Structure 1
Amino acid sequence: MNTAADFAAITSFVLELEKLKAVLRKNRPLGQTRFENTAEHSWQICLLAMSVLPHAAEPVDMGRVVQLLLVHDIPEIDAGDVNVYDATGRAAAEAKEEAGATRIFGLLPSATGAQMYALWREFTTGTSAEARYARAIDRMMPVLQNLNSAGQSWRENGIRIDQVTRMNHPKISGMFPTLWPLLEQQLQAAVTRGDLGPAGAE
């Protein structure tokens, strides 16, 4: 093991992560006019994941869930953030994310880089209980933000309730069957308030 070389590689990786603080998402922090960045999102969803663990439908290793959540958006340094409801944009971003994952995790010493890439791939494919949990959390947080910001990003992007339900229900309800009905009630109330578009509306 070459300690100096390993530390130089680790330093390059963690300094590259500074760029994640400049990747802007579509949600604004509550009460603020600026958009949140992806690094903030990653921190917040880790705490959400820890908080709702008692409501999970199956046991998970929370340490691994947090690892998955911390690495899953790192390739956005190269690919940027795409609105989850933009199917065309999401498809186009997949190749960029794959290339970004290879490049960025490749900055690390090989064993560590391979481990982080494997975590990213596990999240992306949703093959484990921990990945399913992490993916549910990743979808839950933007819903909570919009429900508590008068539908800020929903309104700005013309999102309808059927889109929100179709995107989020499969991921959230399977892992959190007691929480999804509560979110669904709030989504219906958001439509009534005009914070979220009704089903089928343009």
Structure 2
Amino acid sequence: MKNSLLSVLEIIKLAEKLKYELRHSWLSNGRQESVAEHTWRMSLMAVLIEPHLSQKVDTARLLKMIIIHDLVEADAGDIPAFDTMNDEERKQQKLINEVKSIERIRSILGDELGEELYQLWFEFENKDTYEAKVANALDKLEAQIQHNEADLATWIEIEYEMSFLLDRHVDFDPTMKALKELIESEADSKLTFGGINTDLLKEKL
């Protein structure tokens, strides 16, 4: 028991890095967001959206997947989606680094819990299940919500387009689609208010 708890404690200490591992996103008060903050609000979104989903979900499994999915970034760091969108080599390197990290986590725990975390991480990555699809959608939607809340000056140009590329992440569920529409509408309003011609932007996509 003591050895198992020592292993658990090691992972908990590893996770502390997520409190200061920064994402590209900025908060409404002008401070940069941490990975831990992103993961926390994803978890809250899952709890709030769960009653509205079109299918019954295993809520405990969904929350575990959300909490685990960014744990690898304590080792591998956070790489923004726009950095890998059109760079297959960097995308593959990101995956390699993250797989090494989840393998290390599994090794540290060294028991059924380690294997469970390992399998949950790959389930999220591969979108094998309804829960994984929900988790992936929330990951993308939370990021867009945070962008909508941040000063437009913190956005880079490619993120203008990315605001309107969320369909493929939500097309499996009508509730997720409806939530995406609300979030996309907020992005559209923010960009328009900032002097960006969103109609022209959408024509290019």
Q: Say yes or no: TM over 0.5.
A: yes
Residue aligning to 2:65 = 68
User: For 1:141 and 1:171, how far apart are their aligned partners in 2?
Assistant: 12
Which protein is richer in helix relative to its size? 2
Residue aligning to 2:79 = 82
Residue aligning to 2:22 = 24
Q: Which 10-residue stretch deviates more, 133-142 or 144-153?
A: 144-153
Q: 1:191 to 1:114 in 2, by over 3 A?
A: same
Residue aligning to 2:45 = 48
Q: 1:186 to 1:78 in 2, by over 3 A?
A: same
Query: Which runs of structure 1 show a deviation greater than 4 angstroms over 4 or more consecutive aligned residues?
Result: 195-198
For structure 2, the 5+ residue unaligned runs are: none
Percent identity of the aligned residues?
25
Letter in 2 for 1:92: Q
Residue aligning to 1:150 = 151
CA apart distance, 1:151: 3.4
Letter in 2 for 1:8: L
Q: 1:41 to 1:197 in 2, by over 3 A?
A: farther
Q: 1:162 to 1:28 in 2, by over 3 A?
A: closer
For structure 1, the 5+ residue unaligned runs are: none
Q: Deviations over 1:59-98 (max 9, x none)?
A: 2111111000000001111211111122224333111001
Q: Which 10-residue stretch deviates more, 85-94 or 189-198?
A: 189-198
Q: Which 10-residue stretch deviates more, 144-153 or 77-86?
A: 144-153
Is 1:170 the equivalent of 2:168? yes
Structure-2-length-normalised TM-score: 0.85
Residue aligning to 2:190 = 190
Letter in 2 for 1:36: E
Letter in 1 for 2:163: V
Q: 1:36 to 1:143 in 2, by over 3 A?
A: same
Q: Deviations over 1:136-162 (max 9, x none)?
A: 111111111111223354x2x222443
Mapped contact 2:7–2:108 kept (Cα < 8 A): yes
Q: 1:196 to 1:11 in 2, by over 3 A?
A: farther
Structure-1-length-normalised TM-score: 0.86
Q: 1:185 to 1:113 in 2, by over 3 A?
A: same
CA apart distance, 1:109: 3.2
